[in-house]
Amino acid sequence: MRPYNTKQREAILSCIRSLGDAHVTAAQIAERCLDVGRTTVYRHLDRLTKDGTLRRYAADSVSGACYQYTGEDGCGESHYHLKCESCGKLEHLACEELSAVERHVLGKHAFLVNAQKTVLYGQCGDCLNQSFEGE
């Protein structure tokens, strides 16, 4: 069953498309789509996550889930995410070195890594510098 073209659906799609690869919560989407009910936002987010248009992350069990646009076709190249625990910035990391790790983990540890969904937590360069200066 392919979805109807309703104005709510358009509003939500246009909103997440405009976000690029930024991460947003359901609440943020709802804020930007004033004419759309919360329920509808959740239903579309859910649906878009299932068909691969969005990816869902558990950013924090208290503040709610986080979604990221991956492109209408659901492909998107394989890359990891680096999330800075200090400033919250999220960077992308696409690098041959990491592909080697994936092969290693699969071969030696029998685990197929899903790079798309994986987030490496830590400190970004900027924040590392700041903490040097500050302390």
Partner DNA sequence: CTAGTTGCAAAGAGTTTGCATGGCG
Partner DNA sequence: CGCCATGCAAACTCTTTGCAACTAG
Which residues here bind its own copies, judged by CB under 8 A? 58-66, 82, 84-85, 91, 93, 95, 97-98, 101, 104-105, 108-114, 117-125, 128
Judging by beta carbons within 10 Å of its beta carbon (0-12, 13-18, 19+), is residue 9 exposed, middle or buried? middle
Binding of residue 25 to DNA (CB under 7 A): yes
Q: CA 48 to CA 22: how far, in whole Å?
A: 16
Q: Which is nearer to DNA, 57 or 113 (CB)?
A: 57
Radius of gyration, alpha carbons of the chain: 17
Q: Where are the alpha helices (DSSP H) in 24-86?
A: 26-32, 38-50
Query: Of 24-32, 69-77, 92-100, 114-122, which part binds DNA (CB under 7 A)?
Result: 24-32
- Stretch near DNA under the rule CB under 7 A, chosen from 23-31, 90-98, 102-110, 116-124: 23-31
Residue 1 binds DNA, judged by CB under 7 A:
yes
**Closest to 29 measured CA to CA, from 37, 59, 51, 62:** 37
Site for DNA in 56-95 (CB under 7 A): 61-65
State the binding partner of 114 from DNA, its own copies, none, CB within 5 to 8 A by kind: its own copies
Give which of 86, 85, 118 is closest to 99, Cα–Cα: 118
Tokens describing residue 101? 């790790």
Q: Which is nearer to DNA, 8 or 130 (CB)?
A: 8
Residues that bind DNA (CB under 7 A): 1, 3-9, 25-27, 35-40, 42-44, 46, 61-65
